[in-house]
Amino acid sequence: MVRLKSNRIRCSRGFTILEVIIAALITGILATASFRFYTSMHNQTEAQYEVSELQHQCRASVHEIKKTLRLAGFKLVAHPAVEINGDSLAIYFSETQPVDTVLYFLQPFADWEYVRWPDLQYGHKLFRLVRQRNSQPIEPFTDFIVDVNFEKSTDSKSMRITITAQTSKKDETYDENNGFRTWTLEEQVSLRNVIL
């Protein structure tokens, strides 16, 4: 009789197949939910990083242009201080030469660059904002520019700079512009040495 009781105890210590299947099912559901949550959070983090990078690049570009614009006309007498030609801006001053020239303009993306970033829309024109100082080589410093606008303000002592850029990757949760977020930064710059 005692022997029989110990067998029953030994048998009741294990799991039935039904309990194992239910435990596996609950584990699978929790793992799937956790993976979907992680994927969603990862995509949101990537999208936010892209927007943050986009804003940083626009701010850095405008800051660089503002810094150079404040030199416009410095130590110049008979030369124009600023020339605007569409989406290009030429700034003249004298620091190291009789006339130092800094030219900002847009350079279109090449076809191979659209292949490099497969998410980009082919046919939707993107540009790179570049700078050339005197006769030195061109220096690119901002990518994924959609538009740049330089215009003289009505007070003739300042200029308005507007830069519109887009992210390099699609945001699947964003419906406009085929999933590419854009951001526009507009700033007014007071000129020190010249009246436009």
Phi and psi at 73, nearest 5°, equal 85, 0
Q: Which of 34-43, 88-97, 151-160 shows the lowest mean pLDDT across its residues? A: 151-160
pLDDT tens digit sequence for 183-193: 999 999 988 88
Summarised one tens digit per residue, pLDDT across range 17-75 is 999 999 999 999 999 999 999 999 998 898 899 999 999 999 999 999 999 999 999 98
Helix ranges (H only) for the chain are 2-12, 17-69, 111-116
29: phi then psi, degrees, rounded to nearest 5: -65, -45
**4 pLDDT exceeds 80?**
no
Name the band, by pLDDT with cuts 50, 70 and 90, for residue 76. Answer: confident
**Rounded average pLDDT over 158-176:** 89
- Where along the chain do its domains lie? 33-190
Residue percentage of the chain with pLDDT more than 90:
54
Look up the pTM and report it: 0.77
Cβ 129 vs Cβ 104: under 8 Å: yes
pLDDT at 12 over 80: no
Q: What is the structure's pLDDT at 196?
A: 57
Of the candidates 146, 140, 142, 141, which has an alpha carbon nearest to the alpha carbon of residue 121?
146
Q: What is the mean pLDDT of residues 126-149?
A: 93
Residue 160, strand partner residues: 151, 188
Which band of pLDDT confidence, cut at 50, 70 and 90, is reported for residue 145? very high
Does 6 have pLDDT greater than 70? no
